[in-house]
Chain A
């Protein structure tokens, strides 16, 4: 069974610090995503990425957020200056055809 892997599984950071969450999507997939889930709330769409550029982004994905696919395998989400409200589980996903696979998530705690 193919899988999407995410690192770190859990990160605690000080407010105002930069954070990079890493994902290795499934190798032959073309669409990549980041979603987040604040504790007790819905899973929310952040951004989709196709053909090395952002395909769509939500209103949550402001200038503090950026995504990159630096080396053709990793897919990263950067938060430049974290806020307390950025504390959430961040899920990476990749899609091929009709099949989407989610990673196990990176739990970010901002203190």
Chain B
């Protein structure tokens, strides 16, 4: 059974820092991997999708990498801002139509 774990569970950093969020999954036979952002009481917003044949994806200040063989992904956030404060969720597509979510990393960026 696929298990997705995220470290750290919570992170508090000053504005401007570069930071790395970690995600690990137990079964490397994944279809794709996706990172989401969740604001309190809100839905999930997709940040980056990495297809299983890819090693990384970039969008603005965000860069996500994928190492399927070791069951790991990282989300790199450059020059963090208070508006980045949210919970970040890693999720693997187990088959083409089923997402398994991680435990989440709650990020707070203070001015």
Is B35's beta carbon under 8 Å from chain A?
Answer: no
Secondary structure dominating the interface of B? strand
Q: Would A102 and B97 count as touching, CB distance under 8 A? A: no
Residue B32 lies at the interface, judged by CB distance under 8 Å to chain A: yes
Give B85-98 as 1s and 0s: 1 = Cβ < 8 Å from A's Cβ atoms. 00001010001011
If over half of A's interface residues share one DSSP class (helix, strand or loop), that class is named, otherwise mixed; here it is strand
B81 within 8 A of A: no
User: B69-105: contact bitstring with A at CB < 8 Å (1 yes, 0 no)?
Assistant: 0000000000000000000010100010111111110
Residue of B nearest to A104 (CB): B43
Interface residues of B in 47-71 (CB under 8 A from A): 49, 51
Verify A45–B32 contact, CB threshold 8 A: no
Please tell me the size bucket of the interface on A.
20 to 34
- Contact between chains at A45 and B44 (CB < 8 Å): no
Given A98-B49, A100-B46, A105-B42, A50 and B101 touching (CB < 8 A)?
Answer: no
CA distance A33 to B42 in the complex (A): 17
Contact across chains for B103 and A45 when beta carbons are under 8 A apart = no
Give me the interface of A with B, judged by CB distance under 8 Å: 4, 31, 33, 35, 42-45, 48, 50, 55-56, 91, 93, 95, 98-105, 107
- 5 cross-chain pairs, A with B, having the tightest CB-CB distances, nearest first: A43-B101, A102-B44, A102-B43, A104-B43, A48-B97
